[in-house]
Amino acid sequence: MGRFRDDGELLRRAGIVTADGQPTVAGLLALGAHPQQWFPRYAIQAAVEPRDSDPPAVRARNQITITGAIPRMLDEAMAWARRSFDTTISTSPSGAVRDVPDYPLDAFRELVANALVHRDLDRWSAGYAVEIRVRRDRLVIDNPGGLYGITVDRLGKDPFTSARNARLVSICQYARSPLEGARVIEALATGIPTVTAALERAGLPPAHYVDSGIRFTVVLHRSLSPSRPTPVNRTESVVYEALGGGSRTVAELEAMLGLSGPNIRRALRALRASGLVQLSGGRGRPTTYRITLS
């Protein structure tokens, strides 16, 4: 029967079950029927920002909570993106007329797959889901846990993989998505280059990556804005991208980013001075900060 005597030994050797036959966390997340029975927030929360024409009571569009094993969640995330991304009708050089989504789907798939297999699985992160938000001018994908074994400036440049959850990555190398029949990941360090190439083909700016230590955020922009200022240091960049998920108070930013209040306030002052962030609240309402729309 090959290297292993039977399926039971294969499952144990692959780290899918323990010696006494109980599923491991990695095995459950990759192949379980409904891992959220034990890990309710190991899921994807996705939503689209309201349109300008929506009444004030509208908080979001196409909101969805995606559950199941990782291969199924990846398929469901792709189906949601096809429903939720705005599209344009374009003619190719061959004369074919096609619907073109705002963000390339192959780049989106790589980023979501990375978020699912590289998210932090420690106890502190059990209350956080992978978050996907379509804003008016950008797409934000956010997952708990910073980069592991690599820095932002080396993403897509170093020809090796670095896995926080090595066993989960190993299983997902061979797991297939139920609808597409595709591998979840290939684990060959080609994901970020694939994202970069897809964005370049689509005429979009490069992805913006932010590692805050306890959270990793990817931002895709719909178009280039050469005249728009950008955050000038790491703290400003981390605070700015944290606001990509919506309005936040200083206290919420402290809890989310693990930075001190004075450092956050200093970054917010600089971001407001650059016109990137605006303040709201006062008169009995909590003071919140949000990104200024382009």
Instruction: Indicate the domain borders of the chain.
Output: 7-223, 225-294
For residue 85, pLDDT over 80 is answered with yes
In this structure, the strands spanning 44-48 and 130-134 are: parallel
Residue 1 has pLDDT above 50, yes or no: no
Among 73-77, 158-162, 187-191, 198-202, the least confident range: 158-162
Torsion angle, alpha carbons of 62, 123, 191, 189, to 10: -170
pLDDT at 3 over 70: yes
Across the range 121-144, mean pLDDT stands at 91
Q: C-alpha distances in angstroms, 98 versus 78, 88, 95, 204, 220?
A: 18, 8, 10, 18, 22
CA distance 40 to 172: 20
* Crossing angle between the packed helical segments 70-84 and 105-118, to the nearest 10 degrees: 150
10 Å Cβ neighbour count for 146?
19
Domain 7-223 matching CATH 3.30.565.60: the answer reads yes
d(CA 291, CA 60): 17
> What's the CATH number of domain 225-294, 1.10.10.10, 3.30.70.270, 1.10.760.10, 3.40.50.620?
1.10.10.10
Q: What is the mean pLDDT of residues 39-68?
A: 90
Q: Report yes or no: 89 and 98 within 8 Å, Cβ to Cβ.
A: yes
Instruction: Band the pLDDT of 286: cuts 50, 70, 90.
Output: confident
Instruction: Give the least confident one: 82-86, 267-271, 274-278.
Output: 274-278
